[in-house]
A and B are shown apart, each in its own frame.
Chain A
Amino acid sequence: MKFQQATYEDDANDRYEPHLAEKDQTTVETDTSLPDELTRDEIELPELSEPELARHFTRLSQMNWGVENGPYPLGSCTMKYNPKFTEEIAADPAGAIHPQRPDETVQGTLAIMHTLQDYLARIGGMDAVTLQPPSGAAGEFTGISIAKAYHRANDDPRSEVIVPDTAHGTNPATATMAGYDVVEIESNDKGQMDLDAVRAACSEETAALMLTNPNTVGVFEENITELAEAVHDVGGLMYYDGANLNALMGRVRPGDIGYDIMHYNVHKTFATPHGGGGPGAGPVGVKEELREFLPNPHVRETEEGDYEFYEPAQTIGKVHGHHGNWPVLLKSFAYIYRLGDEGLLDMGEKAILNANYLASQIDFEIPYEPFFHEFVASAGEHHATDVAKMMLDNGVHAPTTAWPEIVPQALMTEPTEIESKDSLDTLAAGFNAAAHASDEELHEAPTSTSARRVDQTDADRNPQLTWDAIDQSAGEPADD
């Protein structure tokens, strides 16, 4: 497939859409009833009409890639289709309210929150769920903070968190944020956690072991029961990173296979839009013994059958200023309600089918298998970055590159269930065009995107992060 992204060129063939300050800068002097000493003198910002702005941002949208432009197989991100009816539900004015309304006046919102807590608990095999964390990483921080509080309550503060070397970067970063030392375990030659190494690493200092399953190379951690036993034997807790829940959906539940705490990424598994980076939401589920540590407040049903917020007895406090990212949670609720058991089970099945089919069609080696909903191929002799750029020219977005590091020149690929066989063939063709391209072709890529290969080195050596910071000597087109 050939592909061409929008570009806008001026007469001098400079190819870019001007930024707002190049279109206008207007200064307005402060003029309020406040005394001068409490105010600034003026502000200077672009002042443009609505039609000009409509055009500006529309052009920018044409220079961007979303799920609806074509396959977007970012490994670990689950870039599945975002059903549009959920946008309408999120826009319902009945839900657009202030988060500090008295409980009795927000029974609708609380009913939805309570039901979603319950749905997620069933899906994960957990006993209690909080919706407060505003992202997966925030969910990890919440979960590890719960583990910390649990150990402290037992007068048994510990100092270490164990992660595999294939862990998503947020896992060790979370452990550090919570004040723990990170113990990283090398994967074995099957791409899984080495059971002996984990047993050796488990000690009275072990607060938790964080592990997604299937793991980040897409394979099922077959020793999960023994791993959980090793951690539980020393009094530690098992933490499930929910990024890969799409693979397990309905067939395996983290709570049934040894995990005590988990987070869910609703923007992955439950199809809420990624929004160019966020917002997502990262609800956290826990087993009964950890229920009282959940963030404050939590939703429960009263004896009378309505809903209220309450403070869990040993709460870790808050992980978000309010109740979490409500519109995102609402969309995920609507998605689960729409799909039901059959839909949820089926989406995982088709995600696994699609990943396996795609893998059978591409000409890159995949060192670790059997995999499920995602796989990690190696770009081999090529650089993963170059492969990615060539794929863009072929009408598909690239997979995640350069991670996990146990696969050299990694191409971490997750097509999700939304791709048809035809679009998977297109995606495979994109991979294979890169696999068989010459070095020269690879270095030239991309040629059909809005920008050619970006100078990342210059961007990092000479960061220019605002229009005021733009360095005239760096060859920028001068303002007229």
Chain B
Amino acid sequence: MSYETHDDLYYTEDHEWARPEDGTATIGLADYAQDELGDLVFFELPAVGDELTQGDAFAVVESIKAVSDVYAPVSGEVIEVNEALHDNPELTNEDPYGDGWLVKVEMADPDELDNLYDIDAYEAELLE
């Protein structure tokens, strides 16, 4: 089975992704994650202003058969939350790297990206 990946993203071992852009990072679930979870029905997301710490759980995602923590790829303050997921959680299934994004943060330390997988490492290590 082949999963969608993008080369401008950084990935975690739990299959989250981060897209850095001018000191901010958009965060979401990788294609593999949404596929494993199945049809998503609900997100418990942080609020604007909340602080995320790399590696710590910051959100909870529910499908019809599972509940899963979502771990922060990078540390930072939440500056935007994808409110559309409230009524349309299926966006993350359908477009996990686009409309299905979860939150956007102001990165506390862009060097933290070095701790993550780039697309090649991600595909090699985790998508075997």
Contacts and interface: CB of A to CB of B under 8 A. Distances in A.
> A contacts B directly in the complex (CB < 8 Å)?
yes
Interface of A: 402, 456-457, 460-461
Contacts of B64: 456-457, 460
Contacts of B65: 402
Interface in B68-117: 89-90
B38 to A, nearest CB: 8
A402 B65 CA distance: 9
A461 B41 CA distance: 5
B90 to A, nearest CB: 7
SS class, residues of chain A in contact with chain B: helix
Contacts of A456: 39, 64
14 contacts: A402-B65, A456-B39, A456-B64, A457-B39, A457-B41, A457-B64, A460-B39, A460-B41, A460-B42, A460-B64, A461-B39, A461-B41, A461-B89, A461-B90
Contacts of B39: 456-457, 460-461
B contacts with A: majority SS: loop
A461 to B, nearest CB: 5
Contacts of A461: 39, 41, 89-90
A461 B64 CA distance: 9
A461 B89 CA distance: 8
Contacts of B90: 461
A461 B42 CA distance: 8
A342 to B, nearest CB: 43
Nearest to B90: A461
Contacts of A457: 39, 41, 64
Nearest to B66: A402
Contacts of A402: 65
Contacts of B89: 461
Nearest to B39: A457
A461 B65 CA distance: 13
Nearest to B89: A461
Closest 7 pairs between A and B when the two form their complex, measured CB to CB: A457-B39, A460-B41, A456-B64, A460-B64, A461-B41, A457-B64, A402-B65
Nearest to A459: B64
Contacts of B42: 460
A45 B65 CA distance: 35
A456 B89 CA distance: 14
A106 B65 CA distance: 47
A460 B90 CA distance: 12
Contacts of A460: 39, 41-42, 64
B39 to A, nearest CB: 4
A460 B39 CA distance: 10
A303 to B, nearest CB: 55
A170 to B, nearest CB: 16
A402 B64 CA distance: 12
A228 B64 CA distance: 37
B102 to A, nearest CB: 17
Interface in B25-47: 39, 41-42
A456 B62 CA distance: 13
A182 to B, nearest CB: 15
Nearest to A457: B39
A456 B42 CA distance: 13
Nearest to B41: A460
From B41, B65, B89, B90, residue with most partner A Cβ within 10 Å: B41
Interface string B48-76: 00000000000000001100000000000
A304 to B, nearest CB: 56
B68 to A, nearest CB: 13
A295 B48 CA distance: 47
A165 to B, nearest CB: 15
A143 to B, nearest CB: 26
B60 to A, nearest CB: 15
Nearest to B87: A461
A402 B42 CA distance: 20
Nearest to B62: A460
Interface in B12-31: none
A456 B40 CA distance: 11
A456 B39 CA distance: 9
B89 to A, nearest CB: 7
A119 to B, nearest CB: 40
A301 to B, nearest CB: 48
Given A457-B64, A460-B41, A460-B42, 11 more contacts: A402-B65, A456-B39, A456-B64, A457-B39, A457-B41, A460-B39, A460-B64, A461-B39, A461-B41, A461-B89, A461-B90
Nearest to A460: B41
A474 to B, nearest CB: 15
A420 B39 CA distance: 40
